[in-house]
Amino acid sequence: MSEALTYAFADPEADVCGVARLGRSDAGESGLVILFRGGDVAAVHADGDGHAGIAAEDAGDGRWRVRWDGELPFELEFEALGGPLVLPGDSEVGRAGGMEGTDVVCRVTGTVGGASFEGRGQRGESSGDPDWERMSAARTLTAWFDAGWAISGVAIRPAGADSHADEIAAVFVGDDEPELVADTRISTTYDAEERQRSAGLELWVREEDEYPVRVAGELACGTSLDLGRLRLDCAFFRWRSNGREGVGRYDMLRLTT
């Protein structure tokens, strides 16, 4: 059984982006920090024997704080902009990935590297027992727009599947009370090293909808990490949808052996 807290954030121009993850499992505690500034990797720190110097606390009233004292230190407050996005463990995606979780889209303020920061982000809690014998990849997709409108989802590729079309996805879209999308279609363009570079989403929010919500994104910054049997391609994208412009994550965790 494993548990994790994930804090992701970016400013509107995607000039400063980052992820901090605190994990706990039967094997012990772990921590991961990835930071980008000006489109380049500014800091990467992974610790399999501790929380990598990350400190997090619940400040109450839908607010959380996270701090890191590494080479590009940050101290940030996450304030919920809407209701929680709940992925039950007994859902199709929950069963496929062996996980359940809750995410909250947030306004994020504070400092990064001593400079003032204001942007959007997401705080997630997850737990479960992912079985990498039954799946080959897991995607995390988030897009944070003005006024709290956001897209957030996960897609699981079962072992032996060949493409996006075979993936099982759960995507939420909206603002104060996001809806679970009835039908999701994802397309991605990769570079020669199979890292995501652009993407398109078609989201039929309700089955009876005549037209989907269309979202297009392109890479702002990214990096890849070797995690033993797994490879993490961590990226932040600039997203566009129906005249809105936003920023968010497109991460892919895949089995390599």
How do residues 7-19 score in pLDDT, each as one tens digit? 999 999 999 999 9
- CA dist., res. 174 & res. 120, Å (int): 15
Which helix H or strand E contains 112, and what residues bound it? Answer: strand 99-112
Q: How far apart, in Å, are the Cα atoms of 182 and each of 187, 213, 234?
A: 17, 11, 27
Contact 187, 180 (CB under 8 A): no
Residues 6+ apart with CB under 8 A from 141: 151, 152, 153, 154, 155, 171, 186, 199, 201, 248, 249, 250
For the chain, what is the radius of gyration of the CA atoms?
A: 17
Identify the DSSP state of 181.
P
Contacts of 225 (CB under 8 A, 6+ apart): 34, 44, 46, 231, 232, 234
pLDDT of residue 164: 73
**Pure H helices in the chain:** 92-97
| pLDDT tens by residue, the chain, 257 residues | 899 999 999 999 999 999 999 999 888 899 999 999 999 999 999 988 888 899 999 999 999 999 999 999 999 999 999 999 999 999 999 999 999 999 999 999 999 999 999 999 999 999 999 989 999 999 999 999 987 899 999 999 999 887 777 899 999 999 988 999 999 999 999 999 999 999 999 999 999 999 999 999 999 999 999 988 999 999 999 999 999 999 999 999 999 87
Tokens linked to 137: 């990849």
